[in-house]
Chain A
């Protein structure tokens, strides 16, 4: 079976005037449908750069990137936008929800850019279904400033899911969350992965990476290790364990 994400000797060089920054210096990576990959590595090692390319927000300087068999390097801006709209879902560290816009409308956002256009009724139905999936259907009318950080990130995940993408991409999705809500978000990711969605996420935290199935470590723009996660964590158990620990702190 061909990989859904295939990087072949992928390089990305930023050019600031005469200064050249080699952010990624030749990465070959294949991710198959149904995988859950955590990308780790020190700051500045090129994780976000690679995620941006995988997310079709950016194109390789050299090498090839094939998404679902399509060479992304040959596509123009509009074609990239269509790929992002149909095949990819993004979750950001800062949530990036639109302020003063209800959770439901935030989730509807990607549907607005579907071609052909989706009827309004269908839009609402799909947005509600996505909110249901992340367990927030009762908060559809809430504004971002009325939601907790974890809830906001779940709205962002619902938004990423609403067009039923093949791949979910998350750059430090738990970076702004406490450990409990981080585990909740990992629970959502694992549930989605169980339903067949490929997940690629960047994280700095080892225990968060343990919720994935495969761990890729980068250094200086290269992949250093690429191995399966040995002791994989499962969100419900991790949550129970955390609660027990917190309880003991309280009792002492």
Chain B
């Protein structure tokens, strides 16, 4: 075995440039596998982090039927969720630790001589807990604030920075929304961008009663957010909500629901669908490149078999069996592709961080992808090296010895 490896190394070194050019296809293909998989893994990790940042065991009830207009199309169309629904959810659904309605409006906000256009979310006191918002300072508004529609709010990191300057604690300050003074009671900790790339920290949360009465004039909600006690009860809670809302909205079995219930998992799957397409495209590119690389190896191995026909004849004459010759050339092909694979992996390790740095793609190289890439390159060597090796092994010793 050692001798086989030595001969193989010698054959590769003899034509170092040719060997390298042969490996190039494999190098490119394997590098593409590494980078492509790392982009997929990186993007998925990012999405998972963002989805997790939305809260634990989260269910969202959207108004409107999403199976008709797609997820985004259905977002808040024809609001159908009412205060009565909210009260019923709070009262009758079991296995739930928090419920919040949701209205949204975009308003002009001023503080001192700074002003900004910001999205206001009208929610209940449970909302911060349900969506895992932490407070940098101050605290959440209370149930009492909600009941009396007080002019209080909590503001996100980006909004605070715009209105009061980077890092300044806004708690206790007054901001003016539509000329009404609102007291800032809490400063939200940063969350970063969401799965669709929007800044989640440019936000003002306030009691939904205040938002509806004083700002938007809405009477219905676009959504409810609920947190369940555990992941296990999510299915059961979903059924309870659906039954209850159908009853309240008088939806008979022959009619479509005017609401949709989504779990965190479904939202994460949706966000990952885009990544999957990208991964498939890169995978296809890598696959083509690997096949081309494999054909390159086959080609060069055929040349090598021809060049070394006399050597093969000599080996056969001194007692090599067909399988010894086969093993020799197969080893050479596998060595070529595996060295190419190793170089490709190195190139991938080098390229992935560059991609993150210059194109902003999140990348994550997993050990599994390295093992996969390495195995793939070995398999390519075996598959594409087999035919030339077989050709060598089946040479007639006399013809081979006499070959000019």
Contacts and interface: CB of A to CB of B under 8 A. Distances in A.
Given A96-B401, A100-B14, A112-B3, A77 B318 contact: no
A52 B401 CA distance: 11
Contact of B319 (A52, A82, A98): A82
A84 B314 contact: no
B324 interface: yes
Nearest to B10: A100
A113 B324 CA distance: 8
Given A57-B397, A100-B10, A84 B319 contact: yes
A90 B317 contact: yes
Contacts of A110: 318-319
Given A100-B14, A113-B321, A58 B316 contact: no
Nearest to A109: B318
A77 B322 contact: yes
Contacts of A113: 315, 318-321, 324
Given A57-B397, A120-B2, A77 B321 contact: yes
Nearest to B313: A96
A118 B324 CA distance: 15
B401 A81 contact: no
Interface in B310-354: 310-311, 313-322, 324
Interface string A62-76: 000000000000000
Contacts of B320: 81, 112-113
Given A96-B401, A98-B311, A84 B317 contact: yes
A109 B314 CA distance: 9
Contacts of B316: 57, 81, 84
Nearest to A80: B397
B398 A52 contact: yes
Nearest to B316: A81
A118 B289 CA distance: 43
A159 interface: yes
Contacts of A211: none
Interface string B3-31: 10000001000100000000000000000
A110 B315 CA distance: 8
A78 B322 contact: yes
B318 A92 contact: no
Contacts of A82: 319, 321
Contact of A109 (B10, B313, B315): B315
A110 B321 CA distance: 11
Interface string A96-109: 10101100000011
Contacts of B319: 81-82, 84-86, 110, 113-114, 163
Contacts of B10: 100-101
A58 B401 CA distance: 12
A86 B318 CA distance: 9
A152 to B, nearest CB: 13
B396 to A, nearest CB: 9
Interface of A: 52, 55, 57-58, 77-78, 81-82, 84-86, 90, 92, 96, 98, 100-101, 108-110, 112-114, 120, 159, 163
22 contacts: A52-B398, A58-B398, A77-B321, A77-B322, A78-B321, A78-B322, A81-B319, A81-B322, A84-B316, A84-B318, A85-B319, A92-B314, A96-B314, A98-B311, A109-B315, A109-B318, A112-B3, A112-B320, A113-B321, A113-B324, A114-B319, A120-B2
The 7 closest A-B pairs by CB, nearest first: A85-B319, A110-B318, A113-B319, A96-B314, A81-B321, A57-B397, A84-B319
